[in-house]
């Protein structure tokens, strides 16, 4: 389970736009379409600065170090289509039966997202109370 962020220290915390809620729905749709228990349970959706949306699903490997997170899968999809300017990203866990949970990106995903754009918005919180922060706020000591 991901550690809860201390939201009082996140400078960029802000409310979601209509486009952000649509991004959550795109991640849910991907989770539903591609779900396989214990193999594909986390989906992500990424929006570029030119408003394209790319999605991905995580791949659980037999050896843990080879797992591919949903966020990385979405980034790979975007890059394979020539998109590198990221605006926002969201990850959703789904059970394949209509239950979902927003997830905060792991440390590796935070690093990769930040490598593309440290100002990328990351949608976190809960589905009942989502908010977004800049990925740079989730990596406060990267390139201080």
Enzyme catalytic residues:
71
Q: What are phi and psi of 78, to 5 degrees?
A: -60, -50
Q: What number of other Cβ atoms are within 10 A of residue 106's Cβ?
A: 15
Q: What are phi and psi of 103, to 5 degrees?
A: -120, 145
Q: What number of other Cβ atoms are within 10 A of residue 37's Cβ?
A: 9
**HSE (side-chain half, CA atoms, 13 Å) at 10:** 22
């Amino acid at each position: 389970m991901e550690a809860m962020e201390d939201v009082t220290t996140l400078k960029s915390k802000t409310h979601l736009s209509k486009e952000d809620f649509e991004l959550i729905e795109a991640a849910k749709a991907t989770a539903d379409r591609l779900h396989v228990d214990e193999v594909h349970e986390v989906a992500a959706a990424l929006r570029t600065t030119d408003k394209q949306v790319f999605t991905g699903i995580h791949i659980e490997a037999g050896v843990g170090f080879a797992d591919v997170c949903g966020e990385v899968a979405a980034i790979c999809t975007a890059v394979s289509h020539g998109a590198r300017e990221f605006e926002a990203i969201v990850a959703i866990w789904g059970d394949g039966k209509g239950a979902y949970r927003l997830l905060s990106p792991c440390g590796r995903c935070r690093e990769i997202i930040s490598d593309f754009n440290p100002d990328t918005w990351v949608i976190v919180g809960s589905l009942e109370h989502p908010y977004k922060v800049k990925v740079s706020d989730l990596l406060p000591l990267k390139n201080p």
